[in-house]
Amino acid sequence: MPHELDESDPAPPAQPATTGTQLHSTPEAHARREAARQRKQRKGLVLVHTGPGKGKTTAALGLLLRAWGRDMRVGGVQFFKHSNANYGELRALARMGITLTPMGDGFTWTSRDLDETQAKALHGWHVAQAKITSGEYDLFLLDEFTYVMHFGWLATDAVVAWLQAHKPPMLHLIITGRDAPPDLIAYADLVTEMQEVKHPFRDQGIKAQPGIEF
């Protein structure tokens, strides 16, 4: 009988596609799972979603949904989305009693007032710090937070040092955005890089649509 893949095996080995057959777990993968079960080790993970492709925030929202379904306390801060934003995910989360707070000014790459954008983002970090240390969350999202470090508005080593000192041990923290700094990647437990292969706007001129982009 093949061994089933479970969540304690973080990355099953790549195998060629098959038709009508089941993939078998390797003895090494089975041994890793058994060792993990014996250790019964748990920790609050730092997860980073980065890269140029679409889906970083979307994947993070999926984790919020999964954690909420497990009766975990979830929330987050969005660093650049406008404070008056009313996107589909915010409407859905509000109905579920989840607070994901937009703190920005609707930042775009051609922002007319980067000083204001920066000030709002830094204020978002102060709000996030208070929420992270509050003890009120089991999983927390810092959406678009990599940009704050990439632009030099916050020093990455200072952010990592603060998280090491103050993040509750069992709090799961998700950080999204392009250009994740190397020090953040080194600190994180899980890093996923989204790569763009095709995009409807770039390839077909199709604009952002409700339910997909917002």
Q: What is the pLDDT of residues 116-146, one digit of tens each?
A: 889 999 999 999 999 999 999 999 999 999 9
Total Cβ atoms within 10 A of residue 48 = 26
| Co-location of 95 and 149 in the same domain | yes
Query: For residue 61, is it within any domain?
Result: yes
Rg (CA), the chain: 19
Task: State pLDDT tens for residues 14-31.
Answer: 443 433 444 467 888 777
| Co-location of 53 and 112 in the same domain | yes
| Co-location of 104 and 153 in the same domain | yes
Q: How many domains does the chain have?
A: 2
Give dist(CA 128, CA 75) in Å, integer. 10
Sheet containing 172-176: give its strands across.
99-104, 74-82, 139-143, 172-176, 46-50, 190-193
| Co-location of 28 and 76 in the same domain | no
Total Cβ atoms within 10 A of residue 125 = 20
- Please report, for the domain that includes residue 139, its CATH number: 3.40.50.300
Give residue 29's domain range: 1-41
Residues 6+ apart with CB under 8 A from 47: 60, 63, 172, 173, 174, 175, 188, 189, 190, 191, 192
Tell me how many degrees the CA angle 73-168-51 measures, rounded to the nearest 5: 80
pLDDT beneath 50: ranges in the chain: 1-23
| Co-location of 99 and 115 in the same domain | yes
| Six-digit token string for 177 | 């955005």
| Co-location of 33 and 117 in the same domain | no
Q: What's this model's pTM, rounded to 2 decimal places?
A: 0.80
